[in-house]
Homo-oligomer: A and B are copies of this chain.
Amino acid sequence: MNIAIVLYDRFTALDAIGPYEVLSRLPNARVAFVAAASGPVTTDNGMLTLLAERSFAQAPKPDIVLVPGGPGEVVERAGGSTLDWLRQVDRTSTWTTSVCTGSLILAAAGLLDGKRATSHWLALEELARLGAEPVAERVVFDGKLVTAAGVSAGIDMALMLTASIAGDTVAQAIQLGIEYDPQPPFDAGSPSKAPAEVVELLRNRSRFEAEKQSPPAPLSVPQ
């Protein structure tokens, strides 16, 4: 079971590491972090660098592909080797998956056309614009395409995938192994539950960052 997790400049770490922590515990799993070029890749806040073990060329046929989100997704979905590689590996993958705004990259690659999919709650409109049918659920299966909502939702997605691949007992054993018995101090993890002013705070910051993070002209996002 070869699992490829895509890295790119300014990805969000937990999008990738949540599912990695679950999927790497599957029997006979081999996780490789892959990127356009092997070597260091830095996260969205510039405070953490991971090493991509392999280049895309060195990972031609993963069984599971996972694309994390993060502000750098804007650059990835503007075109280039990430989209080319995703289209290629999706032909033979068993599961093609994303977390958070990673689904915008899958959509830009044309892999979510007309499919039910999810993304970070602030990105669902953009997901629709890119041709998917957005669904405000935490994890969405549409055939072999599986998408998770924002950041932490990748953990739930990975446990569901684990149950599909290896059965409920293995999934439960992994859940118990990572002691995933969530007890957040607030019930504010979705826009339907968080206080209205907190939702508005995030919406405003999102608009501000969308303007601030517009990529330079050569990488401008296709409409």
Contact = CB atoms under 8 A, between A and B. Distances in A.
Interface of A: 12-14, 17-18, 20-21, 24, 30-33, 40, 45, 47-51, 53, 100, 120-121, 138-139, 149-153, 155-156, 159-160, 163, 168-169, 171-173, 175-191, 193-195, 197-199, 201-202
Number of chain copies forming the complex? 2
B169 A152 contact: no
Contacts of A198: 169, 172-173, 176
Contact of A153 (B12, B45, B179, B189): B179
Nearest to A120: B179
A186 B202 contact: no
12 contacts: A50-B50, A138-B181, A138-B183, A150-B177, A150-B179, A153-B181, A156-B185, A172-B186, A173-B198, A179-B190, A181-B187, A181-B190
Given A150-B179, A155-B152, A179-B153, A202 B173 contact: yes
A190 B186 CA distance: 20
A186 to B, nearest CB: 5
Nearest to A18: B14
Given A47-B24, A51-B40, A175 B159 contact: no
Contact of A173 (B159, B184, B201): B201
Contacts of A186: 159, 163, 168, 171-172, 175
A152 B168 contact: no
A88 B106 CA distance: 47
Contacts of A173: 198, 201-202
A197 B176 CA distance: 12
Contacts of A187: 181
Contacts of A153: 179, 181
A21 B155 CA distance: 14
B189 A179 contact: yes
B45 A48 contact: no
- Per CB-CB distance, the 9 closest pairs between chain A and chain B, nearest first, are A150-B179, A181-B189, A182-B182, A172-B188, A14-B21, A151-B178, A17-B17, A181-B190, A180-B189
